[in-house]
Amino acid sequence: MTIPLSAPDITDAEIAAVAEVLRTGRLSLGPQLEAFESAIARYTNASHAVAVSSGTAALHLAIRALNLKEGDEVILPSFTFIAVANALAYERISPVFVDIDPVTLNLDPSKVEGAITPKTRAIIAVHTFGVPADLDALKSIAQRHSLFLIEDACEALGAEYAGERVGGLADVGVFAFYPNKQITTAEGGVLVTQSPELAALVRSLRNHGRRDSADWLQHSEIGYNYRLSELHAALGLAQMQRVDAILEGREEIARGYDERLAKSEALILPPLKLSGHRISWFVYVIRLVEKYPQSDRDGLIEKMAARGIACGRYFAPIHLQPPYRSPNRVPLPFTEHIGARTLALPFFNRITDAQLDEVCETLLSLL
């Protein structure tokens, strides 16, 4: 069989919702967008949600809205998707990469304080793979040093930290809805915040700097075309109506992998639970144990692909990639060690037991 790494979960309800928008003739900045934003705000317990064209756009607008500028520094993990660093680069802000915790694979708070300089303006806490970052510790550091805290929850819709859903627990939070995410709008993202002023500014920035009170050709600031269409919003709204069932199903898939792979001495499996928190399963990422070099991980990916099973190397550390590689870079031992051994297995809502069997039996036989 052929098994993809990810696949969107689209039902007749989503198709009907999108088709209905096409019949209305209202394709942008309409009622579907407002309803989707309201649904996300309610779900994340945020006062405001502003939907945009991608998670990257949401990150960029968060940075702009917080007035971070050229010459500022922002602390973030290197073990994450490159978009978070790119959003800083758009504004000529210097990323300061800090090492990760070897269990959660999130930013290690014990390493953050030592990276703060007089130029530091913010910390970006990425909820990697849907695992909540240590927000209490990061909030405490941010408050002591008068820094902004941004939640990159692009992989973590529905994750909970101390009983509260992530995204709305810092100065600003962002989500993404690419087809491999828990829910999808095909392309799209959203920024959430408790601040009405910040939300109003982001709404203006996403729409060429227009304010609500201005006419279509009047612009209050330099902005962008980061709008989310009514079609995308309708798709997302339909998906949100079954988000709880989607998240529960993904938890069940993670348990299925754990049961099939638990006896392997060659693998480190992700934790199924974290005390006091809830994981929102974005991907299922295993790690090869110490004895395996990176070449073995890369070879496994190739051999799995030859058998029709797509796998991925989540994540290639950002600080080792050409746009961000520096001869003076600070070593990040856990990031570099783990980044060379991670292997993302096929993970999507409608994966079957037969497919899980095929993936795990093939992987174990190759090991």
Residue 261 belongs to a domain: yes
Split at pLDDT 50, 70, 90, the class of 120 is very high
Q: Is 303 a catalytic residue?
A: no
* Residue finishing a domain among 206, 240, 274: 240
Same domain, yes or no: 218 and 169: yes
Residues 217 and 286 in one domain: no
The pLDDT of residue 213: 65
* Confidence bin at 212 (pLDDT 50/70/90): confident
Q: Is the peptide bond before 315 cis (omega within 30 degrees of 0)?
A: yes
User: In whole angstroms, how large is the CA radius of gyration of the chain?
Assistant: 21
- Regarding whether 171 and 265 lie in a shared domain, the answer is no
Helix or strand (DSSP H, E) at 206: helix 196-206
5 lies in some domain: no
Q: Which residues contact 178 (CB under 8 A, 6 or more apart)?
A: 54, 55, 184, 187, 188
Examine the domain organization and report whether 312 and 294 are in the same domain.
yes
204 and 299 both lie in a single domain: no
Which CATH number fits the domain that encloses residue 72? 3.40.640.10
pLDDT at 200 (0 to 100) = 96
Q: Residue type for 146, please?
A: S
Is 7 a domain residue?
no
List the domain range (segments joined by +) for residue 339.
Answer: 243-366
pLDDT of residue 341: 95
User: CA quadruple 205, 206, 209, 212: dihedral positive or negative?
Assistant: negative
Is 236 in the same domain as 272?
A: no
Does residue 158 lie in a domain region?
Answer: yes
Report the distance separating Cα 118 and Cα 111, nearest Å. Answer: 17
pLDDT tier, 329 (very low <50, low <70, confident <90, very high otherwise): confident
Check residues 219 and 143 and name the one with the higher pLDDT. 143
Q: Give the confidence band of 291 by pLDDT, cuts at 50, 70, 90.
A: confident
How far apart, in whole angstroms, are the C-alpha atoms of residue 152 and residue 167?
A: 7
| % of the chain exceeding 70 in pLDDT | 99
Examine the domain organization and report whether 198 and 300 are in the same domain. Answer: no
In the chain, the number of structural domains is 2
Distance, CA of 25 to chain centre:
32
Mean pLDDT over 19-34 rounds to 97
List the alpha helices (DSSP H) in 5-91: 12-24, 31-44, 55-65, 83-90
Q: H or E segment at 231?
A: helix 230-240
Q: Stretch 150-158: mean pLDDT, rounded? A: 98
Spatial separation of the C-alpha atoms in residues 288 and 295, rounded to whole Å: 11
pLDDT at 214: 66
Same-domain check for residues 252 and 229? no
Q: What angle do CA 260, 255, 76 make, to 5 degrees?
A: 110
Residues 178 and 253 in one domain: no
Contacting residues for 61 by C-beta, under 8 A, at least 6 apart: 50, 52, 191, 202, 205, 206, 224, 226
8-state DSSP, 96: E
- Residue 1 inside a domain? The answer is no
200 and 264 inside one domain: no
Residue whose structure tokens are 């992998």 = 257
pLDDT at 300 over 80: yes
Quick check: helix, strand or coil at residue 164?
Answer: strand
Q: pTM of this prediction?
A: 0.96
Of 181, 263, 273, 303, the catalytic one is 181
Q: CATH number of the domain that 309 lies in?
A: 3.90.1150.10
